[in-house]
Chain A
């Protein structure tokens, strides 16, 4: 199939402008996003062990609850029981310190434990804020804005990203057969970058389309649902009684929950879990969340059990959930219970799970990590292509001695931003073992943005020929430093063994960055054709 050349030209322009305008945001989103694939594990590794007594057995939870409610009556309204306590959530029971909390970062919880002699111990604490900060960086595409503003900006960037993908496909399509596996490494810089960009882009295209569409949904679902509520309200009144089965199920379930009154009628957690296991074998519960609402002299307790099932995708980044009757352990709503959803909900969950990679367990997570880094690489090559093409055009136009200001500005912004993001996150991991409680959200915020702005500043100060080698070297060494720091922290009892894994991955990444720089500064020979950076220097020296 042929596409008309003028259409290709139109989309080529769209692709390059949209690409250069959002590549920096997308780089941060993809780099941080690939790390946040492991948010939960990182939280467990980076949070130091707590000073609380060992969590009580699950079967002894009712005694713990009794003691806690006697001392903290407010905890009754909303509390969570942890099935498998770990470093990030080191107690059997936790409840929000301030239920009306609206600040930035995750809120602190009160953790409850019993000493061997049955005395109640509490501790106000939260897990390390660093993994959460990295996740926020991903959600807010690296912008330190209020959450709502950042979400809508993210939505706009996601729409542009979709445009870039569509236009990229249209440009590449006519030459697909000829160019797909062409990697002209010995030729001019621009061609090497272009071939890399096409290869990575083509093979991760479905992944990118999914990311773009789901990101738009995440950003704009609120207003769309609000509009639906307004539109169909009168229709709902008119068509009452005709509405699908789902509505009936919902009202039935609500009738059931109203029967439960007071805490005394609740089934012990272990029995609830045993009952749930009979109804949904294979579902592994992580937390039991009890919420009590009172009104009109009656109180109603609802129980939401979050957990996962290795065989099915989940709605959240790592969890699905079931709404369970707290009096007898019967499942009231299986809309988001993995493996027990209706076909419609299963399809909807699958769309979302494709964004989170919350299916297929660890191999899929690592796959997403690699695809995420591949995406970041795609945006880097894309912006390099734009800059090289601009420099070339300016050189032809006789402006070789003085780069046009916009090209210079974008060149500084992209290099500074990319290396600032990589270095900032590396510094967070370096500092994590030495900060109390594994670092709070605010500390992470301060550290990351200081490093990011420093790199950005350096990028504007340094000369064209020094900018990339220097900043990439900084990013590379910062990543390599994570491994020894983790080792030292582990010997000092400040880190656990799996955090060495973080160091190992960072070590590989750092070596890759440094290797690229080494080629960059050694001056490559004509026969040396492998790495991308060597090609770039030949290209740039040619350009003068």
Chain B
């Protein structure tokens, strides 16, 4: 790890990373948690409303912390990786539960 001070030079890349893969990541969290607690996807149920709050809060946290990444590339790699991991987990869980 280098000790260069943090700057805002790549703010746009970081922000877009928080918006695109960051949002995918929060939706992925919702998908996994929803699957684990047998959410029905019916908007009037408690579970789906809590999941909706979960998405918003996770995404807001990602948005708030995206400027802490060392560079835009770093942000894309971490958030993109996290999104891929949660969605892969979701796919596996779907296979397991339906099997």
Report if A and B associate in a common complex: yes
Residues of chain A touching chain B, judged by Cβ–Cβ distance below 8 Å, are: 4-7, 9-11, 13-14, 159, 162-163, 166-167, 212-213, 216-217, 220-221, 224-225, 227-236, 238-239, 242-244, 246-247, 250, 335, 342, 344-345, 348, 351
* Interchain CB contact under 8 A, A213 and B41: no
Q: Give bound CA distance, A260 to B49, whole Å.
A: 30
Contacts of B55 in A (CB 8 A): 224
23 A-B pairs with C-beta separation under 8 A: A10-B6, A10-B67, A13-B8, A14-B8, A14-B67, A159-B60, A163-B63, A217-B56, A221-B52, A224-B51, A225-B41, A228-B43, A228-B48, A228-B51, A231-B31, A234-B94, A235-B38, A235-B39, A236-B41, A238-B98, A243-B40, A250-B44, A344-B50
Q: Are A348 and B5 in contact (CB under 8 A)?
A: no
Q: Given contacts A6-B5, A231-B41, could you give 8 more A-B pairs where the C-beta distance is less than 8 Å? A: A14-B8, A225-B52, A231-B31, A231-B34, A232-B35, A235-B39, A345-B46, A348-B46
Q: Give every chain B residue within 8 A of A335 (Cβ-Cβ).
A: 44
Chain A residues, Cβ within 8 Å of B68: 7, 10
* B81 at interface by CB-CB < 8 Å: no
Number of interface residues of B (CB under 8 A): 37
Chain A positions within 8 Å of B39 at CB level: 228, 232, 235
Check B38 against A230 for contact (C-beta < 8 Å): no
**Known A-B contacts A229-B43, A231-B34, A342-B46; A224 and B94 likewise in contact (beta carbons under 8 Å):** no
Q: How far is the CA of A142 from the CA of B51 in the complex (A)?
A: 30
Q: Which residues does chain A contribute within 8 Å of B31, judged by CB atoms?
A: 231
Taking a contact as CB atoms under 8 Å apart, the answer to whether A348 and B48 are in contact is no
Identify the B interface with A (CB < 8 A): 5-8, 11, 27, 30-31, 34-35, 38-53, 55-57, 60, 63-64, 67-68, 94, 97-98
Interface centre among B38, B45, B56, B97 (most CB of A within 10 A): B56
Q: How many A-B residue pairs have CB under 8 A?
A: 113
Cα distance, A221 to B49, chains bound together (Å):
9
User: Closest approach, in angstroms, between the C-beta of A425 and any C-beta of chain B?
Assistant: 30
Kindly state the separation between the CA atoms of A212 and B63 in the bound complex, as whole angstroms: 13
Please, how many angstroms separate the alpha-carbon atoms of A233 and B44 in the complex? 14
* Nearest chain A residue, comparing its CB with the CB of B6: A6
Contact B97 A238 (CB under 8 A): yes
For A212, the chain B residues whose CB sits under 8 A away are 60
Residues of the A chain whose Cβ atoms lie less than 8 Å from the Cβ of B34:
228, 231-232, 235
In the complex, which of the residues B41, B47, B49, B98 contacts A229, with contact meaning CB atoms closer than 8 Å?
B41
Q: Indicate if the CB atoms of B97 and A235 lie closer than 8 Å.
A: yes
Residues of A within 8 A of B8 (CB): 10, 13-14
Say whether, besides A10-B8, A220-B56, A228 and B67 are in contact (CB < 8 Å).
Answer: no
Q: How far is the CB of B34 from chain A (nearest CB, A)?
A: 6
Least Cβ–Cβ distance between A363 and chain B, in angstroms: 28
Q: Which of B6, B60, B98 contacts A162 (CB 8 A)?
A: B60
A239 touches B38 (CB 8 A): yes
Inter-chain CA distance A295–B60, complex, in Å, is 45
Contacts of B42 in A (CB 8 A): 229, 247
Inter-chain contact A232/B6, CB cutoff 8 Å: no
What distance in Å separates the Cβ of A241 from its nearest Cβ neighbour in chain B?
Answer: 11
B87 vs chain A, min Cβ distance (A): 11
A533 → chain B closest CB, angstroms: 33
In the complex, what residues of A have CB within 8 A of residue B30's CB?
224, 227-228, 231
Q: Which residue of B lies closest to A344 (CB)?
A: B46
Residue of B nearest to A333 (CB): B44
- Would A351 and B53 count as touching, CB distance under 8 A? yes
* Minimum distance in angstroms from B21 CB to a CB of chain A: 16
Interface contact A225-B60, CB-CB below 8 Å: no
Q: With the chains together, A11 CA to B45 CA distance in Å?
A: 38
CA distance A351 to B49 in the complex (A): 11
User: A216–B60 contact, CB under 8 A?
Assistant: yes
Q: When chains A and B are docked, how far (Å) is the Cα of A227 from the Cα of B8?
A: 33
Contact B49 A348 (CB under 8 A): yes
Q: How far is the CA of A10 from the CA of B27 in the complex (A)?
A: 28
B97/A246 in contact, CB under 8 A: no
Assess the B46–A10 pair: CB atoms within 8 A. Answer: no
Report yes or no: A228 in contact with B35, Cβ–Cβ below 8 A.
Answer: no
Q: How far is the CA of A201 from the CA of B98 in the complex (A)?
A: 51
Residues of B with C-beta under 8 A to A163? 63-64
Q: Which residues of chain B come closer than 8 Å to A231, judged between CB atoms?
A: 30-31, 34, 41
CA distance A183 to B37 in the complex (A): 51
Q: A14 to chain B: which residues have CB within 8 Å?
A: 8, 11, 67
Chain B residues closer than 8 Å to A244, beta-carbon distance = 38, 45, 47
Chain A contacts for B52, CB-based, 8 A: 217, 221, 224-225, 228
User: Contact at A232–B60, with CB atoms within 8 Å?
Assistant: no
Question: Which residue of B is nearest A230, CB measured?
Answer: B41
In the bound complex, what is the Cα–Cα distance between A351 and B46 (angstroms)? Answer: 13
Query: For residue B34, which residue of chain A has the nearest CB?
Result: A232
Query: In the complex the two chains form, what is the Cα distance from A378 to B41 in whole Å?
Result: 39
B6, B39, B40, B94 pick with most chain A CB within 10 angstroms? B40
Asked if A235 and B94 make an inter-chain contact with CB atoms under 8 angstroms apart, the answer reads: yes
**Known A10-B8, A11-B67; contact A232-B46, beta-carbon cutoff 8 A:** no
Min CB–CB distance B37 → chain A (angstroms): 8
**B64 CB contact (under 8 Å) in A162, A227, A229, A233:** A162
Q: Choose one: B41, B53, B94; the contact of A228 (CB below 8 Å).
A: B41
The closest CB in chain B to the CB of A169 belongs to B64
Residues in A with CB closer than 8 Å to B56 are 213, 216-217, 220, 224
A246 x B53 contact (CB < 8 A): no
